[in-house]
Structure 1
Amino acid sequence: MNDGAIGSKIPDAFLSVRPEWLALQADEPALEPDLPIVDPHHHLMDMRGHQYMLPDFLADVATGHRLVASLFVECRVFYRPWGPDDRKSLGETEFVNGVAAMSASGVYGQPRACAGIIGNVDLRFGDRARAALEAHMAAAGGRFRGIRNVAAWHKDGLRATSANPPPGLLLDREFRKGFAALAPLGLTFDAWLLHTQLSDLIDLARAFPDTTIICDHIGGPATFGPYAGKRDEVFADWSRSMRELARCPNVNVKLGGMGMHVLGFDFPNRPRPPSSAELAEAWKPYVDLCLDAFGTRRAMFESNFPVDKGTCSWLVLWNAFKRLAAGGSVEEKRALFHDSACRIYGLDLAAQGIVVERVVARA
């Protein structure tokens, strides 16, 4: 496998988004432009020099692909600066619900941004977590679908996230007390971690078989820092762990996040941005392994914007995904691009007045 590593230096959590560099992207028409997309993973933010709000998101999605709806995933923004600690993250849910209401009005176009919300309640609150979760559900007007607690941690200080999680989060006793509240409330759990921590997620999934878990960003196969130049070795370790994780029927996987620095590809260091064909070729071994292990009903493509925008544009990203799914059947494409996201998160698009065409042209 071609390594194409970015080097052993540990980079910052986010790649810089460079509009002038992205403008050098070769023109590509949108592949299968009528294929409906539900993007199950994007952020909105205004923090630490990173700004990406609703107009920015809508400008990206207006470049040729047919986004019908999206799910916002927590990124620790707009927290309340007041009140008890277990209620401060309500500020983010209130903010996103307001954005969702703006989008649902139709004033900003057809795509329904933030039709579902994956928020953040620190499950280490233990027995207090349930009340906090219920407060988020009440604040979100029926849009609250689950939570994410970022667990990505490494003894060498690898920065895979802007969060600062503790070691062993998924094994923490108080965390698991809080985790127990999710299934009774019908809420899901998104896990973002590195491949070296997948055994912790497997243990968690087995301990809570009735809780729907989504493994973000293909399970974080780290090929940077001390793993630079070891792509084949990391891939082998990651593959074994992902196949074991897939044996847990309550676990699903998001196919994305591959534009981050975590996978160690050198695309952001090149004079020109990559084409969708180049991305598809580089990402194919990872996507193929996930699809073989989880199947299309437990997998979904995700944009992870604006984080993955450090590598490519929205247009090119979804073209790469469509190339990776080109050999699939109509039903398999439906699953990967919208059905799996709706089913796994319990997102009822019809109830929100969102119409998804059920006719998908085969490539």
Structure 2
Amino acid sequence: MSDVMELRRRFLETGADDDLPIADAHQHFFDVERNYFPWLADKPVKNFRYGNYDSIRRSFLPDDYLRAAGHHRIVKTVLIEGEWNPADPLGELRWVESLRREHGFPHAMSGQAWLDREDVDEVVGVYGRHPLVKGIRHKPAAVARTEHTDSFVAPGSMRDPKWRDGYAKLHAHGLLFELQVFWWHFNEAAELARDFPSTQIVINHGGLPADRSEEGLSAWRRALEQVAREPNVHLKISGICIPGARWSVEANGPVVRGAIDVFGTQRCSFASNYPVDGVVDRMTDIFDGFKQIVRGYPVEDRLRLFHDNTARVYGI
């Protein structure tokens, strides 16, 4: 991993893609031989958004990541919990800590926590004391778009009082919240952001804009506009693959540009979501696509999207 300040200086001078430092805001490591990730070890779930994911039901470790990154100048990474064994939520931190000692990265981590479980105080307390951990992820309860209403509430959802009691603990421990939920739940996300203005929310995977019809993208954008009104919300642009299709600028350009139009270049970060997005395409092609989509943006904005925003949000 290259010297960050030198790459930043050089990129601001040249604007060349080959000089652009990248802080990958969302990646994973898996060791399926030594550790238990239920979704990788057990029978695959039927409704995984990319379809069949047998190709990634294997270990993916730092050396694999560096090979996958290829020619891109990855200088920092943020590891997001990989749905580790829920019976041992802190086990993933111990394992990731050992990887960092050996390989020098990841530079930050968002750990697994279950906000409505009885162990939330213990888990959040450990994370809050550990310098590697910047936030937590707990995917809130959600429903299909056809079943969703503006008044939706369910156990484990963002309006569940017990879930919110756990969420309220994050600020005291200096932890941000990784929000992975479908965009039609963004009215609840906006409420959460307003009710807890001191807690940073980082939306994962652009709100999962799977419906690429004109109506679907219009509804997705309106939902983004609603949650973007809250200043404590940041957006990660990743995980926007289309099942059965290679990652393409033609298909994903409108999503990337639409997200940036709504949130602005200071509140978005690009990320690989690797190896999960490897179901669809290579990491090199994904980052090449992001670079091509924003090539006409000012160099300062490109640097923010690929590096500076992630470094700021995660303190790395």
Partner of 1:44: 29
Q: 1:310 to 1:326 in 2, by over 3 A?
A: same
Partner of 2:97: 97
Moved more, 148-157 or 311-320: 148-157
> Whose RCO is larger (CA < 8 A, sep 6+)?
1
Q: What SS class does the counterpart of residue 199 from structure 1 fall into?
A: helix
Q: Which of 244, 250, 259 is the aligned partner of 2:232?
A: 250
Contact 1:260-1:308 at 8 Å conserved across structures: no
Q: Does 1:136 align with 2:127?
A: yes
Partner of 2:168: 180
- The 2-side partners of 1:157 and 1:60 are apart by 38
Structure 2 residue runs without a partner (length 5+): 1-15, 33-39, 42-56, 148-153
Letter in 1 for 2:23: V
- Output one character per residue of 1:6-37: Cα deviation in whole Å (capped at 9) or x when no partner: xxxxxxxxxxxxxxxxxxxxxxxxx7122100
Matches within 5 A, 1:300-315: 300-315=269-284
1:101 shift after superposition = 1.4
Aligned-CA RMSD value: 2.2
Structure 1 residue runs without a partner (length 5+): 1-30, 82-87, 105-112, 159-165, 224-229, 268-272, 348-363
Identity %: 30
TM-score by length of 1: 0.70
Letter in 2 for 1:69: K
Partner of 1:216: 204
Q: What SS class does the counterpart of residue 296 from structure 1 fall into?
A: coil
Matches within 5 A, 1:265-304: 266-267=244-245, 273=246, 279-304=248-273
Q: 1:188 to 1:155 in 2, by over 3 A?
A: same
TM-score by length of 2: 0.80
- The 1-side partners of 2:181 and 2:210 are apart by 10
Q: Does 1:35 align with 2:20?
A: yes
1:178 shift after superposition = 1.0
Partner of 2:183: 195
- The 2-side partners of 1:156 and 1:191 are apart by 17
1:136 shift after superposition = 2.6
Q: What SS class does the counterpart of residue 118 from structure 1 fall into?
A: strand
Partner of 2:84: 77
Letter in 2 for 1:255: I
- The 1-side partners of 2:111 and 2:304 are apart by 24
- The 1-side partners of 2:79 and 2:17 are apart by 24
- The 1-side partners of 2:250 and 2:89 are apart by 39
- Output one character per residue of 1:231-281: Cα deviation in whole Å (capped at 9) or x when no partner: 1221111111100110000001001111254xxxx41xxxxx55xxxx122
Paired residues in the alignment total: 272
1:155 shift after superposition = 4.2
Q: Does 1:205 align with 2:193?
A: yes
- Output one character per residue of 1:13-69: Cα deviation in whole Å (capped at 9) or x when no partner: xxxxxxxxxxxxxxxxxx7122100001011122323432222212212x1010011
Q: What SS class does the counterpart of residue 125 from structure 1 fall into?
A: coil
Q: 1:177 to 1:303 in 2, by over 3 A?
A: same
Q: 1:67 to 1:280 in 2, by over 3 A?
A: same
Contact 1:254-1:299 at 8 Å conserved across structures: yes
Q: Does 1:122 align with 2:122?
A: no
Q: Which of 198, 216, 223 is the aligned partner of 1:234?
A: 216
Letter in 2 for 1:325: V
- Output one character per residue of 1:291-314: Cα deviation in whole Å (capped at 9) or x when no partner: 111111110001001111112111
Letter in 2 for 1:51: S
1:99 shift after superposition = 0.9
1:157 shift after superposition = 11
Letter in 2 for 1:54: P
1:137 shift after superposition = 3.8
Contact 2:209-2:240 at 8 Å conserved across structures: no
Q: Does 1:55 align with 2:43?
A: no
Partner of 1:151: 140
1:167 shift after superposition = 6.2
